[in-house]
Structure 1
Amino acid sequence: MSTPTSTATESGAPAGAPTGSLFTRLYTGTGAFGIVANRRKLYVLTAVIVAICLASIIFRGFSFGIDFTGGTKLSMPAGNHDQDRVAAVVEESIGEEPQTVQVVGAGDARIVEVETRFLTSDEIRAAKNAMFEEFQPVTADGAASVEAIGDSARSESWGGQVTQNALIALGVFLVIVFGYIAFRFEWQMATAAIVALLFDVVTTAGIYSIIGFEVTPATVIGLLTILGFSLYDTVIVFDKVEENTRGLRHTASRTFAEEANLGVNQTLMRSIHTTIIGVLPLLALVVIAVWILGVGTLLDLAIVQMVGIITGTFSSVFLATPLLVSLKNRDPDIRRQTAKVLARREKAEAIA
């Protein structure tokens, strides 16, 4: 009497999975990784990640930029001025440490930007005079003048308007996405995709809160752009799952969970490649933004998109499809088909 070499189960554990190296299993895509089978563990992991991120958002909050908090920005040609000295001069003149001091731009276009709370006209005049006396900045025509120091103010309501419009755009986007996926595939896939997108938003925001990255309007815009990447990856996986499960109710060879797990494995290497290809240009953008151009907006966009791409890949592979299986297993037809597959296997093992 022989014993079957492997037995697939209702949970979606891989059947007959290859036992080669990690890369062999990744490239073969024959169900070597029991992602669906371990969905309960993945739910716990996901819940822990979300809980940590929400706790940080609630108790630690965000480091908002001047566009959200409101304030005054002073700027002058960078020259060879030390940022710490610039901060000290401004602090002495207004009696308060500036929020940020940074050098942006490249070459002769480099400037020092100082962000502070809202300053009165007298405080702005005092700060500019102190900076001029200490650093003697020159205008475009080469003459040393206090006019070389610029100032601008930003109302905190502007950042609030950006956030409000972004939230409206996010809501409309999620409604459209749900409708499209429900029409193209089915409502269970649409629900799983929306949950994955919400996970991306919460996790990316939580990482910003935990690490303390500054939140700017560019960050909010970048957060919306990463949802498209995450959705693309999820739809690719779902398309493969649909292909594998087409006509499943009329067969008794594999359960829905097993076919879904196979679909994730078949697209896993593609997801990894897409993530790497997406992250590499963003790393290059960070290098250009920080070391060459010194443009803060580019850095903000690059960081939020890098974080979002990684979380989006995680949610597409380890959350969306396992959640889809949990939802589909509530379908009476799927439950009957699963029972038929398991009964057939038990009968085959008994005969063997």
Structure 2
Amino acid sequence: MTTSLSKPEHKPAKKAGFFNRLSTGTGAFDILRPRKVYYTVGIVLVVASILLIIFRGFNLGIDFAGGTKLTFTPAATSVPSDAQVGEVMSDSIGVSDVTVQRVGQSLQVVSAELQPNQIQTAAAALKSAFALPGNVVDTAVSGTWGAEVSKQAIISVIVFLVAVALFIWIRYERRSAVAAVVSTVQVLIITAGIYSLVGFELSPATVIGMLTILGFSLYDTVVVFDKVQENTRGLTSLTRRTYAEAANLAVNQTLMRSINTSLIALLPVAGLLIAGIALLGSGTLKDLALVQLVGMLVGAYSSLFVAVPLAVDLRIREPQLRAHTKRVEAKRAAEGLIVDAVGDPIGSRAPVVAAKGAKSHKTLAKAGGAAATVVAEAPVKPAKPAVSPVVPDMAPGEAPRPGVRPAGARPKRPSGKAARPTGKRGR
């Protein structure tokens, strides 16, 4: 009795999970392919922010708009409401357009610039109405000084952008510098638009926070650019990956780092915002925390989805990289390779052979482009050698058909010839 042994089936290796591939940078996520969508989203947000800034404007603090600020600490047993403070100011000096801010246990009443006699009258009215244990401290800021502060803030942002462009240009190259500046300006405009929408007061703390988040965004951008430079070093001498695939690999490798850095930085900032609004009621903490929270979120997005894609689009226009991309695609088409989003082989297909009379390089390049876009296709198994069939019933005298061997036909040794000796040949 014959027993047939079946070969054990080969089980494919289990594919790693999404979070495992994300954390190890081996996910091969095609992050750069929908970059036109990123550009569209960025343009829409920038236009909306500019419209908000033009038509809604900012809630300028006393340091920018100028005015008078009265600060006092009420008794712990009787803390007046904002409406009560506004009523006292209106009855005493006829000024109803005031803003009341709570900084810890103290209250700050901000209004337009007041005359010295108005300040004395308002201070006396507040002390009498709320039985204040201490005096009312006044602070006056002229409109000229506020305009100077605004001017210096704008100059600071411009100097920062110029420094960013020079640094990226020297460290990497000019196209990366353009992408980094565009990304940074986008962060600045969107953050300012959200600040205008929320209506928080624009103060010197806001400017400080703005410069801080611009630095954070630049740091994240430099990290990704550094990985792109590492992956593309000596790229044109090889035919494994295109420039876009090497840049996409760099984004995959730094994606988890960017997420972790952003989350760790956002947690204390979110706590600062909650403390500034709910617990302390401090305008300075609130202003600083909001601009940092929004800026870090927008900065992390712009670094990965604006700066790097834009730099790639500008670089792949170079003739040298265009020629290299054609060589890579032609090689893949000739070898029948199917690659993923980062250029690693994941399968194979029938090699593309240039048609007779056609230019092989151009044909392979076109075929390679089509082959490179395929991401899932079963490998082609090599064909088994054809075996000539046996035809047992052949008519006598009929010549065998090409490739067909008659049944039982075996070559015979010619008669009358001796068998070849098995020993050594004679000399």
- State the TM-score bracket (shorter-chain normalisation): 0.7 to 0.9
- What SS is found at the alignment partner of 2:292? helix
1:73 corresponds to:
69
Q: Is the 8 A contact 1:182 1:190 kept in 2?
A: yes
Residues 241/227 of structure 1: CA separation in 2 closer, same or farther (3 Å cut)? same
Runs (5+) with no aligned partner, structure 2: 1-13, 337-349, 352-379, 381-427
Aligned 1:11-30 pairs, distance under 5 A: 21-30=17-26
Q: Is the 8 A contact 2:18 2:27 kept in 1?
A: no
1:123 corresponds to:
118
- What SS is found at the alignment partner of 2:110? strand
Q: 2: distance between equivalents of 1:248 and 1:69?
A: 55
- What SS is found at the alignment partner of 1:152? strand
Q: Does 1:55 align with 2:54?
A: no
1:200 corresponds to:
187
Q: 2: distance between equivalents of 1:212 and 1:254?
A: 49
CA RMSD of aligned residues (A): 1.9
- What SS is found at the alignment partner of 2:102? strand
Q: 1: distance between equivalents of 2:156 and 2:126?
A: 42
- What SS is found at the alignment partner of 1:72? strand
1:113 corresponds to:
108
Amino acid at match of 2:192: A
- What SS is found at the alignment partner of 2:190? helix
Q: Does 1:99 align with 2:98?
A: yes
Q: 1: distance between equivalents of 2:64 and 2:249?
A: 46
1:15 corresponds to:
none
Identity level (%)? 47
TM-score of the pair, normalised by structure 1 = 0.86
Q: Is the 8 A contact 1:166 1:221 kept in 2?
A: no
Q: 1: distance between equivalents of 2:176 and 2:59?
A: 35
1:269 corresponds to:
256
**Displacement after TM superposition at 1:28 (Å):** 2.9
2:80 corresponds to:
82
1:37 corresponds to:
33
Q: Does 1:337 align with 2:324?
A: yes
Q: Is the 8 A contact 1:159 1:217 kept in 2?
A: no
CA deviation string 1:89-143 (max 9, x = no partner): 11222323233112212xxxx211111111223322332232122111112xxxx
Q: 2: distance between equivalents of 1:203 and 1:24?
A: 33
Residues 91/337 of structure 1: CA separation in 2 closer, same or farther (3 Å cut)? same
Q: Is the 8 A contact 2:102 2:283 kept in 1?
A: no
Q: 1: distance between equivalents of 2:245 and 2:98?
A: 55
CA deviation string 1:224-268 (max 9, x = no partner): 121111111000001111111111101111111111011111101
Out of 18-27 and 77-86, give the one that drifted further: 18-27
Q: 2: distance between equivalents of 1:88 and 1:218?
A: 29
Q: Is the 8 A contact 1:98 1:114 kept in 2?
A: no
Runs (5+) with no aligned partner, structure 1: 1-17, 140-147
**Displacement after TM superposition at 1:307 (Å):** 1.3
Amino acid at match of 1:81: V
- What SS is found at the alignment partner of 1:125? helix
**Displacement after TM superposition at 1:291 (Å):** 4.8
Determine which of 155, 164, 176 is the counterpart of 1:189.
176
Q: Does 1:283 align with 2:280?
A: no
Determine which of 131, 134, 139 is the counterpart of 2:129.
134
Q: 2: distance between equivalents of 1:151 and 1:19?
A: 68
**Displacement after TM superposition at 1:294 (Å):** 4.2
Aligned 1:159-178 pairs, distance under 5 A: 159-178=146-165
- What SS is found at the alignment partner of 2:139? strand
2:60 corresponds to:
64
CA deviation string 1:195-227 (max 9, x = no partner): 111111111111111221211111012111211
Q: Does 1:255 align with 2:242?
A: yes
Amino acid at match of 1:64: L
TM-score of the pair, normalised by structure 2 = 0.72
Higher RCO, Cα 8 Å, sep 6+: 1
Q: 2: distance between equivalents of 1:174 and 1:160?
A: 22
Amino acid at match of 1:95: G
1:235 corresponds to:
222
Q: 1: distance between equivalents of 2:150 and 2:29?
A: 40
2:408 corresponds to:
none
Q: 1: distance between equivalents of 2:84 and 2:17?
A: 56
Q: Is the 8 A contact 2:71 2:136 kept in 1?
A: yes
Q: 2: distance between equivalents of 1:187 and 1:116?
A: 48
CA deviation string 1:3-46 (max 9, x = no partner): xxxxxxxxxxxxxxx97654233213125332211111111111
**Displacement after TM superposition at 1:286 (Å):** 2.7
State how many pairs are aligned: 323
- What SS is found at the alignment partner of 1:51? helix
Q: Does 1:303 align with 2:301?
A: no
CA deviation string 1:283-319 (max 9, x = no partner): 2323443455444222222221111111110110110
CA deviation string 1:146-171 (max 9, x = no partner): xx122221112223222222222222
Amino acid at match of 1:165: Q
Amino acid at match of 1:331: E
**Displacement after TM superposition at 1:191 (Å):** 1.2
